[in-house]
Chain A
């Protein structure tokens, strides 16, 4: 993962900007006063504990939920996202954690669902070709695009979901836990893919619990805690800082271990100096 020239060149334009986003579910405030920016050609990792509001934020951006308060600016213009179609039309594609594929349809039908070619006389050949092109771009290993999705493994379904999100040439891709269900090789593939998507100048928002994956691809790490912004970090931030931002406590297993290691190092250092 090296700094490619086009990455820094394309980075800059503000694709998405959220100000003061709040979301209440009855008495529960899932999100409170969230500010969030994504630039073109940038991967922003959204991290936080369970219930921090990451998925809620993604669902607001996907048009699944509507915010209770706050403004959404997309490519410089204030927008509302009343339903998933509005988000898709604007150029916000989402890969949901619960993949949202139709198991009774085949891979091609799932990739093109809602965007079929020639609605009155489906062009199956053209759709199948485009599907294979997309899947090959992702170096995907799908046995047959004419099998129902029910027969695919978790990783293959993830690939289908990502291929589908790329179909409409979006400006911003939201990935909710893209590597959670994947094996080692498939995780590497998806991370490569995220790199490739960024190189094409798209903004990427990625939710993940896996700090290793986050550090591998993210340009910025945004921490949410209990539905509020709780810091923005560079990918080279220490694990300790991240974990304490996520959990809100400076005294935890990670910090204690770091402290212990530091003391041991100091101790041995001073012992060596003493000799």
Chain B
């Protein structure tokens, strides 16, 4: 090693191997991206392409689709199922599934309705109880999975029915409970939007955070004698993201503005993304999803990881149910039934989280749910019945899974994970 250092010009620690092609600079980053896509490492490319196609089609059929007020409604609708999809991302990361998220969300909304409206509990306490119940159900799945080796799709299928039964039971003969209009919870679900200056400020934050962390990483890598990504590329990315977000916010602010509920959803997505990519817990989740035995031999507490994944998923499902109740201002027997379950799972998969475990991102919940809700909203605007909506959503889910499988095969043949 010392000999290498004395003979060669100063070379970054990770650029010493002459056989490897390293792309440098902004153009290099672009070429590396194209290479990645070609070998099947698609990331969120398919969903963005899909979104463009869907939006173009619906806009050409009915221009109201891209109107600011329709998009604001879209964001309200995204937030409820989107939070549930975020939970699905957690279980998919470890290669498991939760089919009962719809029932859990329905039961959570029923719980809030009963405890708050009928029993007179404070609303915060009722919500906390619903969330605690969600986490408890998830822990039960984890227990069945860890101790009894029960496959998650069976235990959660059983849970789907059992929890739905509990929902019908506590709602009783009335069948639905109306949440009072004018209460904070219902306002949050239906009306509350960010003041304009808040939305513009929040839209500037991601770019700023990216710039600061990018520059810090750059300085640290240079100091550590490692190659650093190009600053030009970083600045371009920051500029594109900031300008893009500000334009979107400006457009949405032409009507009502950004819903606080959507802000909560995006905040949760960002927090989950940090947890999955930048913490030891997230690394362990990915490892367990990729190779459970290897993770165990590396000393990871695999059971605790499964427990956290299932509990988080059900917790998010319960939160999604509470938000849905707020959105509809009611807790009914229909809450959480129908397509909620599959929409949540489809959103995570369409967004690019693999069904096979070990690959995914919190952002897939955000992107995926926007696709799903765009389809729903577009078809509603066209006055098409839900029968057609189900068929089209089903087809989109099938396409997403096909893309996932094909990309996986292509990655395998190109030597990528």
Contacts and interface: CB of A to CB of B under 8 A. Distances in A.
Given A142-B17, A150-B417, A119 B297 contact: no
Nearest to A100: B294
Given A85-B299, A129-B13, A150-B415, A102 B224 contact: no
A151 B295 contact: no
Contact of A102 (B290, B301, B414): B290
A132 interface: yes
Interface string A83-126: 11100100000101001111111000100011110011110111
A141 interface: yes
Interface in B1-32: 1, 13-14, 17, 19-20, 22
A139 to B, nearest CB: 8
Nearest to A136: B1
Interface stretch (B120-128, B183-191, B239-247, B279-287): B279-287
Contact of B20 (A83, A88, A94, A144): A144
A132 B417 contact: no
Nearest to A122: B278
Interface in A133-157: 136-137, 141-146, 148-151
B237 interface: no
Contacts of A102: 286-287, 290-291, 294-295, 358
Contacts of B38: none
8 contacts: A96-B297, A100-B293, A122-B278, A122-B280, A124-B217, A125-B221, A132-B13, A144-B14
Contacts, number: 116
A182 interface: no
Of B217, B279, B289, most A-chain CB atoms within 10 Å: B279
Contact of A128 (B226, B279, B289, B295): B226
Interface in B360-417: 411-412, 414-417
A221 B406 CA distance: 49
B294 A84 contact: no
Interface residues of A, number: 42
A232 interface: no
Interface residues of B, number: 41
A171 to B, nearest CB: 16
Contacts of B297: 62, 64, 84, 94, 96, 100
Given A102-B294, A143-B19, A132 B14 contact: yes
A121 B416 contact: no
Nearest to B274: A121
B205 interface: no
A143 B300 contact: no
B359 interface: yes
Nearest to A148: B417
By Cβ-Cβ distance, the 3 closest A-B pairs, closest first, are A119-B280, A148-B417, A104-B290
A62 B297 CA distance: 8
Interface string B209-228: 00000000100110011100
Given A125-B220, A128-B14, A143-B17, A151 B416 contact: yes
Contacts of B217: 124-125
Contacts of A150: 411-412, 415-417
Of B226, B291, B297, most A-chain CB atoms within 10 Å: B297
Given A84-B298, A143-B17, A143-B20, A104 B226 contact: no
Nearest to B225: A129
A103 B287 CA distance: 9
A173 to B, nearest CB: 14
B283 A113 contact: yes
A91 B279 CA distance: 25
Given A101-B291, A105-B283, 14 more contacts: A83-B299, A84-B299, A102-B291, A102-B294, A102-B295, A113-B295, A114-B284, A114-B295, A114-B298, A116-B280, A116-B283, A125-B221, A145-B14, A151-B417
